[in-house]
Structure 1
Amino acid sequence: MNLSRKVFPGILPSVTLTASALLAGFSAQAFGDCERGSLDAKYCDENGDMVADLPADESEWVNPDTLIFAYTPVEDPAIYSDIWQPFIDHLSEVTGKDVRFFAVQSNAAQVEAMRSGRLHVAGFSTGPTPFAVNLAGAVPFALMGSDSGQFGYSLQVYTHVDSDIHEITDLKGKRVAHTSPTSNSGNQAPRALFPEMGVVPGDDYEITFSGSHDQS
């Protein structure tokens, strides 16, 4: 935990790369009774691996000529389009398909695009990943990391340099901007970690949502 004097939880979201059910080869279909765990009624999970199974009927599988890739919503999508170009080129080479970058405006829009079959491969932030898996049939296959093999990110709390907030417990009685309900570093992690540090978000301080890390 890094408490900086310069307040909002959460920066630098870790990103999980997922392929939709479509890339894995199937279209969403309404299943009857089957084991599905927490997955939406569109999917089955007979093998218990917590991700959607392929339909038994191979006629339901799809093989799009063009793959659509989207990165988690950011303030300037054009910059990230350039950053992801080497990955897009590689994906095109190994699949033999045209791959196009699609800029999404929100986590919800990204999940819905994959659920509807308009998005095939995506970099999801940590928080929305379970929603993508359960609601859109996403299958995580990679986590961003460094060349040294390290991965992860930090949860940081910021406050104004002239404020009277010096420790985590000083957040009591204050109003704190979390980023969005589905964000891990911006909401879920503070709710899980702060109580051990003496502060219960929502009880000890008022939570407001900024909408995104950039807006915070």
Structure 2
Amino acid sequence: MLPWTQLATATAPDGDTIRLMRRGEEFSIRLSDGNELMNSRLGGSEEALARLALDRLGPRAAPRVLIGGLGMGFTLRAAQAAAPPEARLVVAEIVPELVGWASGPMAEVFGGSLTDPRVEIRIGDVAAEIRGAEAGFDAILLDTDNGPDGLTRPGNDALYGEAGLARMRRTLSAGGILAIWSAAPDAGFTRRLRKAGFDAEAHEVRAGRTKRGARHTIWIAGRGRD
């Protein structure tokens, strides 16, 4: 088996080191402790995040979609495939180096997705984008942590608490959709979403693109039209 080669490193806002690794055609982004954040072979659940959200949103001529986390671009590319020509896809990525990796060492993974005129990359915290939104988003897609416990960035706990959910609901347009990715189920979070006024449903999806392998959880939460 081919060995892993380290291609680049970056520093996360909490000071942890993020490493970009490659083995043959496979890429991996890991924390310094070896915990794998994402792998180029396993984008099925991240793609489902966008697909399920935009299916639930339904047809809109020019939807505004906020994507929290660029990662390896799985959610972005799935949103591009599902969104109409007049859509606006805003991606908030807090680690600038990841954007550079997308057009550098991982260019073959991203293809031409970042040159799509519908796409705008913003370097910064998705929570700040939500707080500063001047006009409502039609969908907010969050893949910024291992789940609603804010494991990757402790500061992201504020997104998933009562105040954060209320803020996101206010940011969404009437009938808008909040979608959240998680490595594991959490029945308590489903209840929290519903308590915040969302029509929430948890979906179990495969990590990869086959019917085998690990399962992840995606919450699709409708804002309603009140």
Is TM more than 0.5 here?
A: no
More strand by share: 2
TM-score, length-scaled by structure 2: 0.28
Higher relative contact order (CA 8 A, sep 6+): 1
> Which has the higher Rg, Structure 1 or Structure 2?
1
